[in-house]
Chains A and B, each alone.
Chain A
Amino acid sequence: QVQLQQWGAGLLKPSETLSLTCAISGGSFSGYFRTWIRQPPGGGLEWIGEIKHTGDISYNPSLKSRATISVDSSEDKFSLKLTSVTVADTAVYYCARAVGGATDYWGPGTLVTVSS
C-alpha cells in the first residue's frame, strides 16, 4: 500500500526558509511526477511545482522563483524549499505522487504557519 510521509518545520518567521521533505513507502516514484501542492486555511488548492520522472522541473510562476524542489539521492525522498516566506505562505503543504499530472497519492499534509 503506497503511503507518503512528510515532515518539516511548522512555524516560521517572515523571511525564513520553509523546508519540507516527503518519503514514499509501499511503492516508488519511478515513472511518476513528484509534486508539491498547498492549501491556505479555508482556501483552495495551489499547485507549487513538480519534478517529472525525466528530471524536468516546473514551478508555479506565482512563487516568483522562491521555490526549489529536489530529489534525494535515494530517489524515494524529495524536498521543497521556499525562501523568504511571508504570512501569505501560511498553508497546509502536501507532497504527492502524480501520473501525467493527476495526483493519485497524497501525503497527510503539514501545516506551516508564518508569524512574527
Chain B
Amino acid sequence: DIEMTQSPSSLSASVGDRVTITCRASQTVGSHLNWYMQQPGKPPKLLMYSASSLQTGVPSRFSGTGSGTDFTLTIDSLQPEDFATYYCQQSYTTPRTFGQGTKLEI
C-alpha cells in the first residue's frame, strides 16, 4: 500500500492567516492526489483533485501544488468555517489511502 503522511498533525491559526499543510506519499502518485475537509459530525468534502484542481464551488482561497511524492494545500486568509480536519488521499492506485489528517484549530 502507498502510505500517506501529513504534517503537521495539528495546527493553530487565526482568522485571516495563511496556512500550509503538507502531504508526502511513500512512492510516486503522479498528480493523483486529492484534498478533503471534514467538519465534526459531517462527511468529508472534496476541496482539490488531481493535486491542483479546485473542486466546483470551493472558494479560491484554497490552492494545491505538487506532484510525485510531495504535495501542499494552502489556505489563504482563513475564514471561521475553515477550522476543520483536512485529509489528503492518493487515487493513483488501490487501496486508495488517506493521510492521517491535520486538525486546524483556532
* A interface residues, Cβ below 8 angstroms from B: 44-47, 50, 58-62, 94, 96, 98-104, 106-109
A109 — which chain B residues lie within 8 A by C-beta?
A: 43
Some 26 contacts from A to B, beta carbons below 8 A apart, are A44-B99, A44-B100, A44-B101, A45-B44, A45-B101, A47-B89, A47-B98, A58-B94, A58-B95, A59-B95, A60-B94, A61-B1, A94-B43, A96-B43, A99-B49, A100-B32, A100-B50, A100-B91, A101-B34, A101-B89, A101-B92, A101-B96, A102-B46, A102-B89, A102-B91, A104-B55
* B interface residues, Cβ below 8 angstroms from A: 1, 32, 34, 36, 43-46, 49-50, 55, 87, 89, 91-92, 94-101
Q: What is the predominant secondary structure among interface residues of chain A facing chain B?
A: strand
